[in-house]
Structure formats: structure tokens, C-alpha cells
Amino acid sequence: MPTVSHDDVMVEIFREDPAYSVALLNDVLEDEETLPGELLIVLRQMAKAFGGVTKVAEKAELNPTQMYRTLSAEGNPSLSSFSAILKAMGMRLAVKPIEGAAARPSASRAKGRVRKKPERARANAGSKVKAAR
């Protein structure tokens, strides 16, 4: 009976059930003790399942050689590369609150913070008001 590698089995599972890949990635990201090693293994397997590293690199607009290095055991993907790889596979990075953790800053700290619009947004807002007159 021929043997099949664990990577090949995982690639087949990801092909058959893409939702499983999302669930597994979320589990890996929640376990800080296994990051980044396990994350890189799962991303390599997923890239194979989603058409191969070269195809995913092209869709992510990344250099395939650099993507192989990024997903290697010694790799350390930047946030922009990680996001581009996920997007090429039809996913995105998201943030969710930790269960049991404070979800918002305290009211006293939040009062002093006002988010300012970028200059471009303020400039465009002014031109819209003038045009409406």
C-alpha cells in the first residue's frame, strides 16, 4: 500500500472543504504558542490546495521565489504579504474580541480620543458642500 504524506492529505482536505481551511487557520492563530511555525505550515498546504504556490503568488502579486521563502520554516511574512496571500485564496484577516477580555477602553480614556479625518477627506468634504449650494 503506497504511503501518502501528511501535507498531501491536508492539501486534499482543503480542496474538498475550503471552509475547513478557514476554521483551521483561525484555530492556529488563536494558539500563540504554535505561531508562526504552524501558521506557515498551514499556509503552505493551503497554497498547494488553492492551485500551487506559484499561482497563489501571482494572484497575490508577490514574487513566487519570495513567497516560497516566506512560507518556509524560517519565513516571517509581513502583514501585507500575509494579507495578500489570504486574499489570493479568497480570505481576509479579521479581528475579533477575546472572550472575557474588556472589549472597549474605559469611558474616561475614550473621551479624550477623537478620530480626525485625514486631510484629503476633509478637503473633499468641503468641495461637496460648495458643489451642493
Residue 121: inside a domain: no
- Provide the whole-model pTM: 0.70
DSSP string, 21-59: HHHHHHHHHH-GGGTTHHHHHHHHHHHHHTT-HHHHHHH
In the block, cell 449650494 appears at 133
Residue 48: inside a domain: yes
Digit-coded pLDDT (tens) for 8-51: 999 999 999 989 999 999 999 888 888 888 999 999 999 999 99
**Domains identified in the chain, total number:** 1
Give the whole-angstrom CA distance, residue 64 versus residue 121.
37
Confidence of residue 95 (pLDDT cuts 50, 70, 90): confident
**Domain span including residue 70:** 1-93
